[in-house]
Chain A
Amino acid sequence: MHSLNGRLLIAASVVLAAFLGLTGLSLDRAFRDSAQAAVQDRLQAQVYMLLGAANLDAFNRLTLPQALPEARFSTPDSGLYADVMDSQGALVWHSPSLLGRALPFFPAVRNPGDMQFAPLDAADQTPLFVLAFTVSWEIARNQYQLYTFRVAETRQDFNDQVWSFRRGLWGWLLASTAVLLAVQGLILRWSLKPLRQVTAEIKAIETGQRAELSGDYPEELQPLTANLNALLRQGRAHLERYRNALGDLAHSLKTPLAVARGALETDADPGDLRRTLSEQVARMNRTVDYQLQRAAASGRIALSAPLPVAPLARKILDSLAKVYAERAPRLRAEIAATTVFHGDEGDLLEILGNLADNACKWCQRQVVVRAWPATHQGRAELVLEVEDDGPGIPADQAPLLLHRGQRADPTVAGHGIGLAVVRDLVEEVYYGRLEIGRGELGGARVRVRLRFQANDVGGGPGAGPDP
């Protein structure tokens, strides 16, 4: 079953049918019972009437008058019959309506006051209700005789009555089932309409008619559509970034290529040529490095589990401890275990790696990495801070360092690229800021603020110092 509509329809129909079916069955049963009780009451009244009409004749035998108050006893085949038996089972009297017939044998009635009622079939298969009542009749003083009065009525009327009731009952039940099913179908269509709308809108997005889903959805679907929109936006942002990166790359490679070509065409001296070429190769290499690192950033992930920062910082510091083993700087992380990052692990490693690597290059003895959560204008932020006890970055140098691919000190490889890459990553992907300042240790302090969407963050209050 692959359709929600189908599932709901089938489930609801089964429940409805079962409910109405059981209702019908119990109504039918109740009606039969009460109709049967009515028949029993009527037959009992007839028995009492017969008892009232009965008399003893001169020979102390029980007799009943020819003309009974109930005319149907006198009419043959009227459907109402009666007879009287004595205690030996001999027939004492039978109603004229019983002409040529016999009531079915009714064995169990033996004691005075006993009454029995049962649906039985006559010898000729006529269906009957039979009521038997045994009385003790005082024939003479202190002399009693047992008589059993039996009254029977054909079941035809009763059956007709039941069938007519059933026809009405089931007719109504079927009609209301049909109406309820139709209403239910309409309710389902109405309830599932937002899902069809999502499907239609996604199709529209596929064909390029829409950019994202509309915001007008029931609250159960809101998280789904909001996340879908976030994914869509992320995909577009990625595409945009790749396009920009490719464009930048092509642009920035054109210049050194042009210089190199110019040199090939004009420079005759091999020494000059070699120098020009090696300068331009170095420049191209820097450009490619920078653009590659930028492109490597996978970017914010719309649906990512929060990533603890401390273990990743530990990884970076352990790695740097190996690389800078010779200078053995003291590398320290001050990060609470609850501090988390919402995004790609590679991005965080890239940011921390570049910042901490720079700090290690410039530090005297120690480097500190800190991270703590914060809020800015109602949005959650993660603040990362890397500080060293080196010479620091002069205020007039900072903008230069952040400029694409520029190096402040060409003798220490990769300095500027690292910071520029981090700045791009922070600003373009995490809509954050990078600040260069002077820290408590006296050296450079680079602070990065990464912004998250409000619904990205589910974490509790964070630990750590506040800026």
Chain B
Amino acid sequence: MRILMIEDETALLERVTQQLREQGYAVDSAADGRTGLYLGQEYPLDAAVVDLGLPDLSGIEVIRRWRAAGRKFPILILTARGRWQDKVEGLEAGADDYLVKPFYTEELLARLRALIRRTGGWTQAVLQCGPIALDTGAQQVTLAGQRVELTAYEYKLLEYLILHAGTVISKTELTEHLYQEDEDRDSNVLEVLVGRLRRKLDPDRTLNPIETLRGRGYRFQLERSAG
């Protein structure tokens, strides 16, 4: 999941960026509105966290311009004042949720997960497809009720695929959404990861949850269960 965070308070920006990365997100960060606006317009984001009180270009303005340019990723606003007037203004401008400072990182993560889930059309914290269940809160995967041990990268890959279950996702899209800028983007790595996921989720080769469409990408093809 690729997330953009715009926050002019650098200590907070660094801390949250760090915590988001630890959670397995690919994070772009900007300390001012103009940089943030540019990043949001150029990068394929899964969500953005925008502080309303930015020095040059206000958070509201950044959100308005993104929405005007047709960017649809979910946006979470951070506000220090907590006045309803500010919240309403931000939500009217196109944000999807708000968080009042100071906040617990847990809360920020929970909101982000919910927003990203919502964009994929999921309303529950547990994404269930056939026998496979992915708990976005606990970051755990079970196969027919049995816990499956996954590495962080495997989990990220599976989460992205299940969130967009039913749609074809290209390798480029996957790398863009899963990797940091500076990380190795060799597509062979992706193939290896998919291979390992298949072995762990489908040891008997009967389920075939991840379909490979030659030249187009992958598709998680198990039916979504309730939610």
Contact = CB atoms under 8 A, between A and B. Distances in A.
Nearest to B96: A322
A326 B114 contact: yes
Contact of B84 (A285, A289, A322, A349): A349
B107 interface: yes
Contacts of A292: 81-82
A350 B83 contact: yes
Contacts of A316: 84, 88
Contacts, number: 53
A128 B114 CA distance: 117
B98 A323 contact: yes
Interface string B89-109: 001100111101010000100
B209 to A, nearest CB: 25
A354 B84 contact: yes
Interface in A232-255: none
Contacts of A349: 83-85, 88
Given A319-B87, A353-B88, A325 B81 contact: no
Given A285-B102, A289-B100, A413-B107, A322 B83 contact: no
Given A315-B92, A322-B97, A323-B98, A296 B83 contact: yes
B81 to A, nearest CB: 7
Interface centre among A296, A319, A350 (most CB of B within 10 A): A319
B83 A346 contact: yes
Contacts of B84: 316, 346, 349-350, 352-354
Contacts of B225: none
Interface string A290-333: 00110010000000000000000001101100110110100000
B91 A322 contact: yes
Contacts of A293: 82-83
Contact of B82 (A289, A315, A328, A346): A289
A349 B85 CA distance: 6
A318 B92 contact: yes
Nearest to A319: B91
A322 B117 CA distance: 14
Interface of B: 81-85, 87-88, 91-92, 95-98, 100, 102, 107, 114, 117-118, 123
26 contacts: A285-B102, A289-B82, A293-B82, A296-B81, A296-B82, A315-B88, A315-B92, A316-B84, A318-B91, A319-B91, A319-B92, A322-B96, A322-B97, A323-B97, A325-B118, A326-B114, A326-B117, A326-B118, A326-B123, A346-B83, A346-B85, A349-B88, A350-B83, A350-B85, A353-B87, A414-B100
Given A293-B82, A319-B91, A322-B96, 6 more contacts: A296-B83, A323-B91, A323-B98, A325-B96, A326-B117, A353-B84
